[in-house]
Amino acid sequence: MTMEGNEISPEKILETVFDLIRNFTKFFSFSIEAEEMKTIELYILLYVALKGPESMSSLAKEYSMTKSNITVLVDDMERKGLLARIRSEEDRRVIMITLTDSGKSFFESFLGNFSKLISTFIRNVGSEDLAIITDGFERITSIVVDEKFIDSGGKN
Protein backbone atom coordinates (compact mmCIF):
# COMPACT_ATOMS: atom_id res chain seq x y z
CA MET A 1 0.00 0.00 0.00
CA THR A 2 1.29 3.39 -0.88
CA MET A 3 0.02 6.90 -0.42
CA GLU A 4 1.83 9.65 -2.28
CA GLY A 5 4.94 7.49 -2.47
CA ASN A 6 4.92 6.65 1.26
CA GLU A 7 4.55 3.02 2.29
CA ILE A 8 1.56 2.48 4.57
CA SER A 9 1.42 -0.82 6.41
CA PRO A 10 -1.64 -2.50 7.91
CA GLU A 11 0.05 -2.03 11.29
CA LYS A 12 0.27 1.75 10.75
CA ILE A 13 -3.40 1.90 9.74
CA LEU A 14 -4.34 -0.16 12.82
CA GLU A 15 -2.28 2.13 15.04
CA THR A 16 -3.94 5.22 13.58
CA VAL A 17 -7.45 3.81 13.98
CA PHE A 18 -6.62 2.61 17.50
CA ASP A 19 -5.26 6.04 18.49
CA LEU A 20 -8.33 7.72 17.00
CA ILE A 21 -10.74 5.51 18.96
CA ARG A 22 -8.71 5.69 22.19
CA ASN A 23 -8.46 9.47 22.09
CA PHE A 24 -12.01 9.85 20.85
CA THR A 25 -13.25 7.97 23.91
CA LYS A 26 -11.12 10.14 26.23
CA PHE A 27 -12.62 13.28 24.69
CA PHE A 28 -16.03 12.29 26.00
CA SER A 29 -15.12 11.96 29.67
CA PHE A 30 -17.27 15.02 30.29
CA SER A 31 -19.38 13.86 33.20
CA ILE A 32 -19.22 11.62 36.22
CA GLU A 33 -21.44 9.10 34.40
CA ALA A 34 -19.08 9.05 31.41
CA GLU A 35 -15.96 8.75 33.55
CA GLU A 36 -17.43 5.81 35.46
CA MET A 37 -18.69 4.10 32.32
CA LYS A 38 -16.86 1.19 30.72
CA THR A 39 -16.12 1.69 27.03
CA ILE A 40 -18.41 -1.20 26.07
CA GLU A 41 -21.19 0.40 28.12
CA LEU A 42 -20.73 3.62 26.15
CA TYR A 43 -20.91 1.65 22.90
CA ILE A 44 -24.09 -0.11 24.01
CA LEU A 45 -25.70 3.16 25.07
CA LEU A 46 -24.78 4.79 21.76
CA TYR A 47 -26.03 1.78 19.81
CA VAL A 48 -29.43 1.83 21.53
CA ALA A 49 -29.64 5.63 21.20
CA LEU A 50 -28.83 5.55 17.47
CA LYS A 51 -30.55 2.32 16.41
CA GLY A 52 -33.51 2.23 18.79
CA PRO A 53 -34.58 -0.37 21.34
CA GLU A 54 -32.79 -3.71 20.94
CA SER A 55 -33.27 -7.19 22.32
CA MET A 56 -30.63 -8.72 24.54
CA SER A 57 -29.96 -11.33 21.84
CA SER A 58 -29.35 -8.74 19.15
CA LEU A 59 -27.01 -6.76 21.42
CA ALA A 60 -25.10 -9.94 22.22
CA LYS A 61 -24.80 -10.73 18.52
CA GLU A 62 -23.87 -7.15 17.60
CA TYR A 63 -20.99 -7.11 20.09
CA SER A 64 -19.99 -10.78 19.67
CA MET A 65 -20.68 -11.47 23.33
CA THR A 66 -22.63 -14.10 25.20
CA LYS A 67 -26.10 -13.24 26.41
CA SER A 68 -24.88 -13.60 29.99
CA ASN A 69 -22.13 -10.99 29.41
CA ILE A 70 -24.63 -8.57 27.86
CA THR A 71 -26.97 -9.22 30.79
CA VAL A 72 -24.26 -8.21 33.28
CA LEU A 73 -23.56 -5.01 31.33
CA VAL A 74 -27.23 -4.11 30.98
CA ASP A 75 -27.79 -4.85 34.69
CA ASP A 76 -25.01 -2.37 35.56
CA MET A 77 -26.36 0.24 33.18
CA GLU A 78 -29.88 -0.26 34.54
CA ARG A 79 -28.56 0.31 38.09
CA LYS A 80 -26.91 3.51 36.82
CA GLY A 81 -30.29 4.60 35.47
CA LEU A 82 -29.20 4.72 31.81
CA LEU A 83 -31.08 1.74 30.34
CA ALA A 84 -34.37 -0.02 31.04
CA ARG A 85 -35.90 -3.34 30.09
CA ILE A 86 -39.32 -3.32 28.47
CA ARG A 87 -41.38 -6.16 27.03
CA SER A 88 -41.77 -6.17 23.26
CA GLU A 89 -45.30 -5.36 22.18
CA GLU A 90 -44.99 -7.79 19.25
CA ASP A 91 -43.73 -10.73 21.32
CA ARG A 92 -44.16 -10.49 25.09
CA ARG A 93 -41.41 -13.09 25.59
CA VAL A 94 -38.82 -10.67 24.17
CA ILE A 95 -37.23 -8.08 26.45
CA MET A 96 -36.16 -4.89 24.71
CA ILE A 97 -33.43 -2.60 26.00
CA THR A 98 -34.20 1.10 25.76
CA LEU A 99 -32.83 4.38 27.07
CA THR A 100 -34.25 5.91 30.23
CA ASP A 101 -34.74 9.66 30.48
CA SER A 102 -31.32 9.81 32.14
CA GLY A 103 -29.85 7.77 29.27
CA LYS A 104 -31.45 10.12 26.74
CA SER A 105 -30.04 13.11 28.61
CA PHE A 106 -26.59 11.51 28.64
CA PHE A 107 -26.85 10.87 24.88
CA GLU A 108 -27.94 14.47 24.18
CA SER A 109 -24.94 15.76 26.14
CA PHE A 110 -22.68 13.33 24.29
CA LEU A 111 -24.14 14.45 20.96
CA GLY A 112 -23.54 18.09 21.88
CA ASN A 113 -19.87 17.40 22.64
CA PHE A 114 -19.56 15.34 19.45
CA SER A 115 -21.02 18.24 17.44
CA LYS A 116 -18.40 20.58 18.91
CA LEU A 117 -15.64 18.11 18.00
CA ILE A 118 -16.93 17.76 14.43
CA SER A 119 -17.26 21.53 14.05
CA THR A 120 -13.62 21.94 15.10
CA PHE A 121 -12.59 19.19 12.71
CA ILE A 122 -14.48 20.76 9.79
CA ARG A 123 -12.93 24.19 10.49
CA ASN A 124 -9.44 22.65 10.40
CA VAL A 125 -9.83 20.36 7.38
CA GLY A 126 -10.41 21.57 3.85
CA SER A 127 -13.60 20.54 2.08
CA GLU A 128 -11.67 18.44 -0.48
CA ASP A 129 -9.86 16.52 2.28
CA LEU A 130 -13.12 16.18 4.21
CA ALA A 131 -14.79 14.59 1.16
CA ILE A 132 -11.86 12.15 0.78
CA ILE A 133 -11.92 11.23 4.48
CA THR A 134 -15.70 10.76 4.47
CA ASP A 135 -15.54 8.59 1.36
CA GLY A 136 -12.75 6.52 2.93
CA PHE A 137 -14.72 5.94 6.14
CA GLU A 138 -17.81 4.98 4.14
CA ARG A 139 -15.79 2.48 2.08
CA ILE A 140 -14.16 0.96 5.15
CA THR A 141 -17.54 0.67 6.86
CA SER A 142 -19.14 -1.03 3.86
CA ILE A 143 -16.29 -3.56 3.69
CA VAL A 144 -16.36 -4.30 7.41
CA VAL A 145 -20.13 -4.80 7.54
CA ASP A 146 -20.18 -7.00 4.45
CA GLU A 147 -21.40 -10.35 5.80
CA LYS A 148 -19.03 -12.28 3.56
CA PHE A 149 -16.08 -10.50 5.15
CA ILE A 150 -17.33 -10.99 8.71
CA ASP A 151 -18.45 -14.60 8.20
CA SER A 152 -15.14 -15.56 6.61
CA GLY A 153 -13.13 -14.20 9.53
CA GLY A 154 -11.69 -11.48 7.30
CA LYS A 155 -10.78 -13.80 4.41
CA ASN A 156 -12.09 -12.86 0.98
Cβ–Cβ contacts within 10 Å for residue 37, how many?
22
pLDDT at residue 108, as a whole number: 92
Strand positions, DSSP E, 59-105? 83-87, 95-99
Provide the angle, in degrees to the nearest 10, between the axes of the packed helices 67-79 and 39-51: 90
Half-sphere exposure of 57 (CA within 13 A, CB side): 4
Q: Which residue has the higher pLDDT, 34 or 84?
A: 84
What are the backbone angles phi and psi of residue 89, rounded to the nearest 5°?
-75, -25
CB-based contacts of 35: which residues, under 8 Å, 6+ apart?
Answer: 29
What's the burial of 64, exposed, middle or buried (CB within 10 Å: 0-12/13-18/19+)? Answer: exposed
| pTM of this structure | 0.76
Residue spans of the domains in the chain: they are 1-30
pLDDT at residue 153, as a whole number: 54
CB-CB contact of 47 with 59 (8 Å): yes
- Which H or E run includes 27? helix 10-27
Residue 156 has pLDDT above 70, yes or no: no
Q: Which residue has the higher pLDDT, 9 or 33?
A: 9
pLDDT digits 0-9 by tens, 23-76: 776 666 566 666 778 889 989 999 999 999 999 999 999 999 999 999 999 999
